[in-house]
Chains A and B, each alone.
Chain A
Amino acid sequence: GAGVSQSPRYKVAKRGQDVALRCDPISGHVSLFWYQQALGQGPEFLTYFQNEAQLDKSGLPSDRFFAERPEGSVSTLKIQRTQQEDSAVYLCASSLLPQDIGQQETQYFGPGTRLLVL
Chain B
Amino acid sequence: AQSVTQLDSQVPVFEEAPVELRCNYSSSVSVYLFWYVQYPNQGLQLLLKYLSGSTLVKGINGFEAEFNKSQTSFHLRKPSVHISDTAEYFCAVNNYGQNFVFGPGTRLSVLP
Binding site for B on A (CB under 8 A): 3-4, 33, 35, 40-45, 48, 56, 58-59, 91, 93, 99-100, 103-104, 106-112
Inter-chain contacts of A107 with B (CB < 8 A):
44, 46, 100
- Would A42 and B32 count as touching, CB distance under 8 A? no
- For B95, what are the chain A residues with a Cβ–Cβ distance below 8 Å? 103
Q: Does B74 contact A (CB under 8 A)?
A: no
| A110 to B96 Cα, complex, angstroms | 24
- Interface positions, chain B 20-52, Cβ under 8 Å from A, are 32, 34, 36, 41-46, 49, 51
Q: Give Cα A103–Cα B46 distance, bound, in whole angstroms.
A: 14
- Whether a CB of chain A sits under 8 angstroms from the CB of B102 is yes
Bin chain B's interface residue count.
20 to 34
- Tell me which residues across on chain B come within 8 A of A104, comparing CB atoms: 32, 49, 51, 94
B43–A111 contact, CB under 8 A? yes
Contact of B43 with A41 in the complex, beta carbons under 8 Å = no
- B34, B43, B51: the one contacting A4 at CB < 8 Å is B43
Q: Is B67 an interface residue (CB 8 A)?
A: no
A103 touches B49 (CB 8 A): no
**Hey, which chain A residues are within 8 Å of B103, CB to CB?**
42
Contact of B32 among A103, A111, A112 (CB under 8 A): A103
- Is there a chain A Cβ closer than 8 Å to B99's Cβ? yes
Tell whether, in the assembled complex, residue B49 and residue A45 are in contact, meaning their CB atoms are under 8 Å apart: no
Whole-angstrom distance between the Cβ of A40 and the nearest chain B Cβ:
7
Q: Which of B44, B92, B94 has the most CB of A within 10 A?
A: B44
Point out the residues of chain A lying under 8 angstroms from B98, CB to CB: 103
A100: B residues at CB distance < 8 A: 96-97
The chain B residue with its CB closest to the CB of A42 is: B102
Contact yes or no, B99 A43, CB < 8 A: no
Please state if A106 and B105 are interface contacts (CB–CB under 8 Å).
Answer: no
In the complex, what residues of A have CB within 8 A of residue B96's CB? Answer: 100, 103
Contacts of B101 in A (CB 8 A): 45
Contact A41 B45 (CB under 8 A): no
